[in-house]
């Protein structure tokens, strides 16, 4: 019986060695187009976000609004980099640079910037420019301005979504 068991073990061992040898003979080096030697490709984009520092209640009457700009990374696994956030007035004049140093916004994270209700420099045509970058596979962030204000007993609130105006991919 022992001799029979040794024969079976030897056969299995030999079969395993031959299988490994066959794989070794038939394996290939990966082609150059299958190997990535660079980091993940990135894209850089610019979003335009309309805003209002005041609105007209009538031809001659305005009410001021506070503005909150939110940049929301809606990707659950990838981060984005925000490199610049600018605030422009109705005439297209740069009014303020809210962020001029690049920072990382983690997955599902949000950053906000506030323009006070008393700051009417932006006007009815105010806007933000948001420059961001991330992996080409990332879902673009949501850029949004929320405006709130009141006049007498009336309150006003509304939002506007940003629009992607440029990407370098």
Residue 152: the pLDDT is 87
- The residue among 150 and 47 whose pLDDT is bigger is 47
Quick check: is 101 in a domain? yes
Question: Domain of 154?
Answer: 43-167
Within 8 A by CB and 6+ apart from 143, the residues are 47, 49, 69, 70, 71, 72, 128, 130, 161, 162
87 and 122 co-located in one domain: yes
Helix (H, G, I), strand (E, B) or coil at 159: strand
Q: Rg (Cα) of the chain, in Å, rounded?
A: 30
How many domains is the chain partitioned into structurally?
A: 2
Residue 144: the pLDDT is 98
The Cα–Cα gap between 158 and 148 comes to: 7
160 and 77 co-located in one domain: yes
Q: What is the pLDDT of residues 50-59, one digit of tens each?
A: 999 999 989 9
Mean pLDDT, residues 86-100: 98
- DSSP-derived secondary structure for 63-81: EE-EEEEEEE---SS--EE
8 and 67 co-located in one domain: no
Phi then psi dihedrals of residue 85, to 5 deg: -135, 120
Q: What is the pLDDT of residues 94-127, one digit of tens each?
A: 999 999 999 999 999 999 999 999 999 999 999 9
Quick check: is 38 in a domain? no
Mean pLDDT, residues 79-103: 97
Residue 117: the pLDDT is 95
149 and 84 co-located in one domain: yes
Q: What is the pLDDT of residues 34-46, one digit of tens each?
A: 333 445 669 999 9
Within 8 A by CB and 6+ apart from 157, the residues are 146, 147, 148, 149
80 and 15 co-located in one domain: no
153 and 123 co-located in one domain: yes
Residue 167: the pLDDT is 95
Residue 151: the pLDDT is 85
10 and 61 co-located in one domain: no
């Amino acid at each position: 019986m022992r001799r029979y068991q040794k024969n079976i073990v030897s056969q299995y061992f030999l079969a395993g060695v031959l299988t490994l040898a066959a794989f070794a003979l038939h394996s290939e080096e990966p082609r150059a187009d299958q190997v990535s030697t660079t980091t993940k490709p990135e894209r850089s984009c610019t979003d335009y976000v309309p805003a209002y520092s005041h609105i007209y209640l009538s031809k001659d009457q305005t009410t001021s609004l506070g503005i909150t700009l939110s940049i929301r990374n809606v990707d659950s696994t990838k981060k984005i980099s925000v490199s610049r956030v600018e605030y422009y007035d109705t005439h297209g004049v740069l009014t303020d640079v809210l962020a001029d140093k690049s920072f990382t916004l983690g997955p599902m994270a949000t950053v906000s910037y506030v323009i006070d209700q008393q700051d009417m420099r932006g006007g009815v045509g105010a806007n933000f420019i948001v420059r961001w970058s991330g992996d080409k596979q990332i879902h673009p962030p949501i850029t949004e301005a929320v405006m709130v204000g009141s006049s007498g007993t009336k309150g006003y609130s509304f939002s506007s979504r940003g629009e992607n105006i440029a990407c370098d991919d």
